[in-house]
Chain A
């Protein structure tokens, strides 16, 4: 088990290396001149030359990659031409915002999706089943940004219950920075008003992002639960008097989780990669907005940085999912 874990972690290194090389080459092959964009239309040739040297763009490509790679390991992820700040610092600012959104969306999807899947499997073809299936179909079919717009219209413009956009009121002070997750920081510093504000701002974008994974998790869970309910051991458990609640939420749940777990793992990357739309609609200062801006200004380093971070999170998630398989299915052996 420990050996398996170490080997899997070691395998991450060549994967990330390859990815960084690929990204670097693609970014450099793209047409366009970031220095020209950063320096502005009236820049003198001397200024452009100076900026090129400052960003290391006057060196040969292999040399630039080597400089970048050694920097990556040391926490120096290059500099953004646009924000004029180190990419690593930018990432540390924007990543928690995006992670908070993604994790909130996943929590909503899992906490609602799994019990709903179990219950609709038990009461299949009942009222609950039809209602949730219809909503789920809509949830999968409707684009996130459109749902976001509908939510804004309903809860912010008409009802006025929730703030329209943003992560925190512009005039307010966010909770003291510890993790960068406003909700967690608010709890840590005991700032309950801050927690309320952070949650109010989080609610709509998180829900808009959660509907599609929620619908998929629910349908997956429903299908695998129906299958598990037909197994012989469920009959034995019933025949020996165990309560239906114990059978469903303990014995059936664990067996039905394996396939749902795969879906949840895949959704982590789907959500991370897809935050840009929701972040744009809700003006959420996260990785998606940062990456979009970087792409539009042909700012190489942030694009590479964002992609590397998302890839890393994805690879770690996949490792976690593989380890969790062993928890839900004792027949899985790591070797």
Chain B
């Protein structure tokens, strides 16, 4: 059984102008050990696909018009909120784009980590190394220990002290490490990372990608990595899906798609990547291709 199987997913959003179809029949299957890169320009529906898996799109305005999202066989579109909450943070981890705005500024990073660990531990005590039916006190102690351990694991030095830091006392890269620790503390089977490196500078980007790569291999989990950076895809993804206007135009193993793109849009996207020998004034945009034809 596939870890995640999105089948013919359709999503519509209501606004003042009426209902607009946003996602058109998304099909995507992620197995354990696969890192799927999802690329596409702004507004192509990458993030909404990611948020749909965790059922984080409020309804209204969102409405699923068709399809299913099966997580280990269970259709998440049929799941109620309590059932979804048991999956979030425990079976499905999420990381978002901007580390400076995704940590709560009024709380120590430890408080937030411990609360997520406690939530995951309540759903499944074995996550914290406890037997089923562990006491609340045991859970709390284990959650605290696990928070320190997890900070250490994502490469934060002096974790026992750092756990008492407020977000504004940490650098952007450290904050993203904390957020990765928060997403991974419940030992999820699926990680959805929505542009996790976009807000970081290049050298930190590489560190964070290496860290994610290591964590994924260690745990054998599936990853949906949403990005608009083809360089990132080439570096760590095993598979790639190219999105455009709410559709997946092309998908497959990363090598095949990037080396031999079958779709005109993918080609245009690849040509738009600036290279070291690109001359001044030669930077190509996507304006040259016929969007209607591409659809």
A: which residues have CB within 8 A of B? 231-233, 235-243, 246, 251, 254-255, 328-331
Contact = CB atoms under 8 A, between A and B. Distances in A.
B103 A233 contact: yes
Nearest to A329: B106
B244 interface: no
30 contacts: A232-B96, A232-B98, A233-B101, A235-B102, A236-B103, A236-B179, A237-B104, A238-B88, A239-B54, A239-B88, A239-B94, A239-B96, A240-B119, A241-B88, A241-B119, A241-B120, A241-B186, A242-B89, A242-B116, A251-B107, A251-B112, A254-B106, A254-B107, A255-B105, A328-B106, A329-B105, A329-B106, A330-B105, A330-B106, A330-B168
Given A255-B104, A255-B105, A330-B106, A242 B96 contact: no
Residue of A231, A235, A239, A240 contacting most chain B CB atoms (<10 Å): A240
Interface residues of B, number: 31
Contacts of B112: 237, 251
9 closest cross-chain pairs (CB), A and B: A241-B89, A241-B88, A240-B89, A232-B101, A239-B94, A233-B104, A330-B166, A254-B106, A236-B102
A251 B89 CA distance: 17
Given A254-B106, A331-B166, A331-B168, A235 B96 contact: yes
B115 interface: yes
A233 B179 CA distance: 10
B104 A235 contact: no
Nearest to A234: B104
A251 B56 CA distance: 18
Interface of A is mostly: helix
Contact of B119 (A232, A236, A242, A330): A242
Contacts of B119: 240-243
Given A233-B101, A254-B106, A240 B166 contact: no
Given A240-B116, A242-B115, A243-B119, 13 more contacts: A232-B98, A236-B103, A240-B119, A241-B85, A241-B89, A241-B119, A241-B123, A241-B186, A251-B112, A255-B104, A329-B105, A330-B166, A330-B168
Interface string B3-26: 000000000000000000000000
A234 to B, nearest CB: 8
A233 B111 CA distance: 14
B136 to A, nearest CB: 14
B182 interface: yes
A241 B104 contact: no
B194 to A, nearest CB: 9
Contacts of B186: 240-241
A241 B116 contact: yes
B87 interface: yes
B24 to A, nearest CB: 25
